[in-house]
């Protein structure tokens, strides 16, 4: 079994894009690989967070992992800050990275653009991400396009460590699923569906009530004309909606085209909404059970304990290789 590591930030509400693009793949991977799925709260504080909101969202994201079908008996589900080796190894990798590498990160450039002051945490974010991956010697890392550059830096840092201190780290590979990797915004198919978008109508949150979901889809931007045809280049908006439909209804794009031939966007969007609701309603029911029972706390405790066994061993090995004096007695 290969080791797989991935995480989602507890900033904002998780979306249908997170579910299709990431969480559904997490559920599949847990059956064939050794998986570590975490809520990356240390990454979230690279920009200011309200403490109460951070606490609530951390628990909510963890509960949504389980509600989506991740089995805590098959995969390690935990909170990043509950495994202390992440932060310590993150600092060690910060000393191995150079300023030029971090300055080239396009995500840092995008998030710092036009701001007079930028937190240092946002700048060194990629070295903590490298530690997240390498502390488990992960083989595969599910990544979107916006994180590919960070994974390349992780690979460079692993190679640099191995060259300088002796071969130790596995060089991780990206895991990019062929299907469902990218769900676009409802108001602009040129942008990824994002929980950080200030326009709530641009995304479907996993905890949106059914009537809100129906309204958002009815108002989703469509291309000129009325033909339900999959053509990302010329009809990106309806192609995005068709991709969502295919995942939620579990049918092919060709079947969707045939089903709505000559009908226009109205019937298509109405039935799309019902398929989305049919996927999200049972997930919400399970989520509410998890939150009301309080079981998520025990799941996270056990997940962190199992993860820490591996992470602490890695950290101890790394510190020995780097020349740190071990504690005695």
User: Beta strands 3-8 and 34-39: pairing type?
Assistant: parallel
Please name the residues in contact with 188: beta carbons below 8 A apart, sequence gap of 6 or more: 202, 221
- Using a 10 angstrom Cβ sphere, with 0-12 exposed, 13-18 middle and 19 or more buried, the burial of residue 16 is buried
Q: DSSP H helical segments within 169-228, as ranges? A: 210-218
Residues involved in catalysis: 111, 192, 195
Q: DSSP H helical segments within 200-264, as ranges? A: 210-218, 236-249, 253-259
Please name the residues in contact with 53: beta carbons below 8 A apart, sequence gap of 6 or more: none
The helix (H) or strand (E) run that includes residue 64 is helix 51-67
Q: What is the dihedral of CA 69, 70, 72, 76, to 10 degrees?
A: -170
Q: Buried (b) or exposed (e) across 281-290, using 16+ Cβ within 10 A?
A: eebbebbeeb
CA distances from 42 to 38, 47, 59, 60, 121 (A): 11, 10, 14, 16, 10
| C-alpha–C-alpha distance, residues 190 and 312, integer Å | 42
Q: Buried (b) or exposed (e) across 169-205, using 16+ Cβ within 10 A?
A: bbebeebeeeebbebbbbbbbeebbbbebeeebbbbb
Check if the beta carbon of residue 72 is closer than 8 Å to that of residue 66.
yes
């Amino acid at each position: 079994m290969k080791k797989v590591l991935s995480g989602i930030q507890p900033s904002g509400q998780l979306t249908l894009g997170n579910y299709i693009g990431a969480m559904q793949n997490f559920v599949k991977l847990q059956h064939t690989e050794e998986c570590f799925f975490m809520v990356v709260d240390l990454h979230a504080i690279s920009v200011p967070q309200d403490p109460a909101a951070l606490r609530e969202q951390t628990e909510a994201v963890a509960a949504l992992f389980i509600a989506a079908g991740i089995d805590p008996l098959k995969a390690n589900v935990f909170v990043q800050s509950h495994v202390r080796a992440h932060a310590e190894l993150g600092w060690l990798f910060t000393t191995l990275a150079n300023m030029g590498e971090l300055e080239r990160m396009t995500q840092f450039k995008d998030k710092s653009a036009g701001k007079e002051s930028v937190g240092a945490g946002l700048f060194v974010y990629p070295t903590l991400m490298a530690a997240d991956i390498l502390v488990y010697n992960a083989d595969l890392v599910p990544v979107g396009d916006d994180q590919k550059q960070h994974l390349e830096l992780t690979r460079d840092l692993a190679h640099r460590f191995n060259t300088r201190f002796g071969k130790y780290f596995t060089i991780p590979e990206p895991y990019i699923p062929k299907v469902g990797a990218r769900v676009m915004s409802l108001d602009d198919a040129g942008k990824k569906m994002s929980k950080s978008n200030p326009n709530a109508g641009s995304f479907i949150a996993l905890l949106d009530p059914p009537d809100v979901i129906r309204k958002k889809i009815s108002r989703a931007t469509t291309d000129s004309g009325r033909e339900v045809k999959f053509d990302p280049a010329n009809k990106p908006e309806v192609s995005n909606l068709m991709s969502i439909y295919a995942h939620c209804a579990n049918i092919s794009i060709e079947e969707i085209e045939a089903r709505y031939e000559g009908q226009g966007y109205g019937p298509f969007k109405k039935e799309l909404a019902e398929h989305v609701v049919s996927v999200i309603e049972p997930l919400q029911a399970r989520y509410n059970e998890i939150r009301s029972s309080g079981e998520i706390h025990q799941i996270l405790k056990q997940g962190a304990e199992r993860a820490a066994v591996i992470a602490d061993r890695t950290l101890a090995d790394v510190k020995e290789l780097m020349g740190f004096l071990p504690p005695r007695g």
